Amino acid sequence: MKKSIRFSNSKVDYFFDENIRSLSKIADKKNTILITDENVFRLHEQKISSWKNVVISPGESNKVQATADGVISQLIEMGADRSTTLVGVGGGVITDLTGYVASVYMRGIPFGFIPTSLLAMVDASIGGKNGIDVGLYKNMVGCIRQPSFIIFDASFLKTLPDAEWRNGFAEIIKHASIMDASMFRKLENNDLSFYKQQKSDLSELIRRNVLLKSNVVQKDEFEKGDRKLLNFGHTLGHALENQYRLSHGEAISIGMVRASFLSQKMTRFDEAERVKMLLEKYGLPVHMDFDRDKMIDVLKMDKKKTKDAVNFILLDSIGKAVIQPIPIKQLHRNI
């Protein structure tokens, strides 16, 4: 099913419930180069190898300028020019890096995505934020530029490790918590193994999350207001991820639980326990003893900080989030 979404200065075609084979209908084989990582290439070689491709090492540590330089050298060798389309086939590392390289190569060439992790399908591939990490600073360099198309092919998920399924569900539960109470209830009534087995429910869940995030981005592509709500659980989550060995999903899960309990103190919210139970149901951690002072030091450096307050995303009810600046002094007592 095709659905076109308009952003401020571009249009993105989403192909839901599709197969990577349909890429040949959208892109011309001669002028298309797939960018993927070694894991995805090894597990899905037959889907990828008939296309020109560039394969990079997997993992967040490779989402850096040196990798972008390597890809650019290969593109030059392969004779890529302004008529070339780059297609990122992989998780969020690949989609972020592909969008970034495509945005700077020859001052910008077209690109598309075939996200292969649940997280990339429901989150990273949507919204046009591309970029790389610099040292400890995640996504420090990059731009906002939309892909021309995204093909959703859930058959890739057959090989996705369990830990990556849980990471994807952390973002899905985030979307439900901040903007979709009925999806929250549906998630409460099911579990991970249900979605792994029920293809049509999984496709419907992916589509709903894609459209929820797209809707927020459409209203606020350049993050002046509502797009910030997508940072629910991320303020503390990023600080935890930075200091401890946690996956992104684990870190934001703990962050969402803390933000939910903080909401109970600051807004009329009274269902933090429900958020915690849902995350637990999907195999995510909900508590951690962390060094509070160290965390507050990291929060003080956060990009989302204004003067002496940190902008926290809180819940007003399940399905509705609000942004609230919280003075650093107050944080000492509350997180």
**How near is the Cβ of 131 to ligand NAD at its closest, in Å?**
7
Question: Is there a catalytic annotation at residue 42?
Answer: no
Stretch that binds ligand NAD, among 80-88, 111-119, 283-291, 307-315 (CB under 6 A): 111-119
Strand locations in the chain, DSSP E?
2-7, 10-15, 32-37, 52-56, 85-90, 111-115, 129-134, 137-144, 149-151, 305-306, 309-317, 320-327
Residue 255 touching ligand NAD (CB under 6 A): no
Question: Is there a catalytic annotation at residue 47?
Answer: no
Question: Is there a catalytic annotation at residue 334?
Answer: no
Residue 129 touching ligand NAD (CB under 6 A): yes
Question: Is there a catalytic annotation at residue 21?
Answer: no
Joined together, the tokens standing for residue 95 give: 């989609």
- Please list every residue from 136 through 155 that binds ligand NAD, using CB under 6 A: 138-139
237 versus 331: smaller Cβ distance to ligand NAD? 237
Contacts for 294 with CB less than 8 Å, ≥ 6 apart: 243
- Please list every residue from 59 through 98 that binds ligand NAD, using CB under 6 A: 59-60, 63, 90-94, 96
255 versus 272: smaller Cβ distance to ligand NAD? 255
Amino acid at 41: F
- Nearest Cα neighbor of 275 from 244, 321, 238, 312 is 321
DSSP string, 180-249: -HHHHHHHHH--HHHHHH-HHHHHHHHHHHHHHHHHHHHH-TT-SSGGGGGGTTHHHHHHHHHHSS--HH
Which of 164, 171, 221, 250 is catalytic? The answer is: 171
Stretch that binds ligand NAD, among 7-15, 158-166, 203-211, 237-245 (CB under 6 A): 158-166
Question: Is there a catalytic annotation at residue 292?
Answer: no
**How near is the Cβ of 130 to ligand NAD at its closest, in Å?**
6
Stretch that binds ligand NAD, among 25-33, 39-47, 197-205, 260-268 (CB under 6 A): 39-47
Cα–Cα distance, 28 to 47 (Å, whole number):
16
- Nearest Cα neighbor of 205 from 175, 234, 226 is 175
Question: Is there a catalytic annotation at residue 223?
Answer: yes
Asked if 213 and 127 touch (Cβ cutoff 8 Å), the reply is yes
- Alpha carbon 63 to chain centroid, angstroms: 14
Binding region for ligand NAD (CB under 6 A):
37, 39-40, 43, 58-60, 63, 90-94, 96, 116-117, 119-120, 123-124, 127, 129, 138-139, 156-157, 159-160, 164, 167
**Residues labelled catalytic:** 107, 129, 171, 213, 223, 227, 231, 234, 238, 248
